[in-house]
């Protein structure tokens, strides 16, 4: 991999078609974890593309329209400071969380803790084997939380895959004590209906509430029965995490019958996912608000009572959104950015065939007050660089870059790389910086690229599915004020009030 000083000009004319304790990764023996096989975050896959598509990808590389295989390109205002390849955990890299001088990186086989006190040279502190995709990860105080969304033989870190049709199978939340970063200890597990694809923390002084998002029920799954139109809420006492337990399952999409009240999907709305739960939730505790990306629906709700959330507004986009994947508030809480994960994260959707409005971000203004607030669509944003048909690319996880008076975020786009963009004018978003690698392959669709790209204490950190942990720095007058903002902890789906 090479860091270029003379960056290629990227032209828009490219148009390719469409119960164990402290288990260390040195003990790796388990087989690969399998994720929910529905739209959403997919495990690494390989699929041959047609000869014509492969030839076009090679020609685009030769002409400079896309970077060469594994070549790094970026805008002049981005520096690539470090890359730490995968080590003992070979699975798919997933989400990130931060605390003090540490970064916590999820992986389908467990998680890895980095010391980032020197961002130019991160050091591995520990690697923990605990298979169970996605291993979505968060931290709060001395506790680390891990989502398991693959059916397992039991709740231990030495479990094996087992069909969800078997009553004894387990999926849900795991809790670790990370008071000793070199030796995390597994202290609790809570089984949840349909597992835990992602989760979101609502932290309080004595307790941590965990909102568990899961979906895709089936009448053949004993612990995941339709309809499944709500979220599991777990209460975790900080001083006694072993007492963690579900305290509520609020139904967010009430309706009659087995289909519930969310988006019916196809054939009513062709190409749109049927809502059978939420994929991800972002909370803004300082404003008692939450935004849910729920397959076929986007929702705004109140969390004044964290055990009993209340829906304020619900929207759909049955023209351009296929799968509502994640959500981000701006700092003033008068906008939400929703992402559409068209193709489930394993498809090439950043090309001319798909166009600029699908597999993109949808920007919504929040208008009105109190329980009468409404979500009003303003525009779409998608990276302005076409990718090859061998590159999975679609809108994915990102975070705000805290600049007062501006709405700027950094965002992962899988093999589309990392984009920094400004949506201060919600009707006219624009990209201001980017970083990406060339395709992993010119002949085969291999899932890779940045899963999450987040800004934390002056730097951008990315967990690349295949390439490992990246550290970037943006030097731009529009984002420079954010360098003064310092946090002690960051779980991006629990958005802080950066300026309080």
The residues pairing with 330 across neighbouring beta strands, listed in sequence order, are none
Is the bond preceding 134 in cis, omega lying within 30 degrees of 0?
Answer: yes
Distance CA 231, CA 278 (A): 7
Contact in structure between 411 and 418 (CB atoms under 8 Å): yes
Could you count the other beta carbons within 10 Å of the beta carbon of residue 415?
Answer: 27
Contact in structure between 198 and 134 (CB atoms under 8 Å): yes
Provide the token pair at 453: 């790209």
**Predicted confidence (pLDDT) per residue in 159-215, tens digit:** 999 999 999 999 999 999 999 999 999 999 999 999 999 999 999 999 999 999 999
Is residue 29 pLDDT above 50, yes or no?
no
**Predicted confidence (pLDDT) per residue in 335-380, tens digit:** 999 999 999 999 999 999 999 999 999 999 999 999 999 999 999 9
Higher pLDDT, 118 or 18: 118
- For the chain, give the mean pLDDT: 90
pLDDT value at residue 48: 73
Q: Could you tell me the pTM of the whole model? A: 0.91
Give 244-288 as a DSSP string. -EEEE--BSS--SSTTTTS---TTTSTT----SS-SEEEEEGGGT
Provide the token pair at 450: 């940045």
Contact in structure between 212 and 234 (CB atoms under 8 Å): yes
Higher pLDDT, 219 or 26: 219
Contact in structure between 468 and 451 (CB atoms under 8 Å): no
Distance CA 180, CA 193 (A): 31
Backbone angles phi, psi at 442, to 5 degrees: -100, 0
pLDDT value at residue 440: 96
Whose tokens are 């949808």? That residue is 362
Work out the average pLDDT over 33-61: 58
Out of 89-103, 256-270, 468-482, which region has the weakest mean confidence (pLDDT)? 256-270
Contact in structure between 448 and 42 (CB atoms under 8 Å): no
């Amino acid at each position: 991999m090479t860091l270029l000083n003379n960056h290629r000009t990227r032209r828009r004319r490219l148009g390719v078609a469409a119960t164990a304790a402290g288990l260390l990764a040195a003990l790796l023996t388990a087989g690969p974890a399998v994720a929910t096989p529905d739209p959403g975050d997919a495990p690494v896959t390989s699929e041959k593309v047609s000869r014509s598509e492969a030839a076009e990808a090679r020609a685009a590389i030769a002409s400079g329209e896309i970077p060469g295989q594994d070549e790094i390109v970026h805008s002049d205002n981005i520096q690539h400071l470090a890359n730490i390849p995968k080590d003992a955990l070979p699975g798919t890299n997933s989400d990130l969380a931060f605390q003090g001088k540490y970064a916590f990186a999820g992986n389908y086989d467990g998680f890895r803790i980095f010391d980032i006190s020197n961002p130019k040279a991160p050091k591995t502190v520990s690697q923990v084997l605990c298979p169970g995709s996605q291993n979505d990860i968060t931290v709060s105080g001395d506790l680390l939380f891990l989502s398991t969304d693959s059916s397992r033989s039991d709740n231990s870190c030495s479990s094996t895959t087992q069909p969800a049709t078997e009553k004894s199978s387990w999926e849900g939340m795991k809790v670790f004590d990370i008071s000793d970063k070199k030796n995390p200890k597994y202290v609790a597990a809570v089984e949840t209906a349909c597992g835990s694809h992602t989760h979101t923390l609502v932290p309080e002084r004595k307790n941590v509430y965990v909102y568990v998002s899961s979906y895709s029920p089936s009448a053949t799954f004993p612990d995941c029965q339709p309809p499944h139109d709500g979220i599991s809420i777990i209460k975790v006492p900080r001083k006694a995490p072993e007492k963690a337990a579900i305290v509520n399952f609020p139904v967010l999409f009430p309706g009659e019958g087995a289909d519930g009240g969310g988006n019916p999907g196809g054939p009513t709305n062709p190409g749109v996912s049927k809502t059978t739960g939420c994929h991800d939730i972002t909370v803004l505790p300082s404003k008692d608000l939450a935004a849910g990306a729920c397959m076929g629906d986007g929702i705004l709700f109140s969390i004044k009572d964290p055990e009993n959330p209340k829906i304020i507004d619900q929207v759909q986009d049955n023209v351009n959104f296929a799968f509502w994947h994640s959500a981000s508030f701006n700092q003033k809480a008068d906008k939400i950015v929703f992402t559409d994960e068209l193709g489930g994260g394993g498809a090439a959707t950043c090309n001319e065939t798909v166009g600029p409005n699908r597999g993109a971000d949808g920007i919504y203004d929040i208008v009105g007050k109190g329980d009468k607030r409404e979500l009003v669509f303003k525009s779409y944003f998608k990276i302005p660089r076409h990718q090859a048909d061998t590159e999975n690319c679609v809108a994915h996880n990102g975070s705000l870059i805290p600049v007062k008076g501006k709405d700027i975020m950094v965002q992962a786009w899988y093999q589309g790389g990392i984009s920094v963009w400004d949506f201060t004018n919600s009707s006219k978003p624009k990209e201001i910086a980017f970083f990406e690698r060339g395709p992993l392959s010119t002949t085969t669709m291999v899932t890779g690229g940045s899963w999450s790209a987040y800004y934390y204490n002056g730097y951008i950190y990315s967990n690349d599915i295949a390439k490992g942990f990246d550290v970037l720095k943006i030097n731009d007058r529009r984002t420079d004020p954010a360098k003064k903002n310092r946090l002690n902890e960051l779980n991006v789906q629990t958005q802080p009030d950066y300026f309080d």
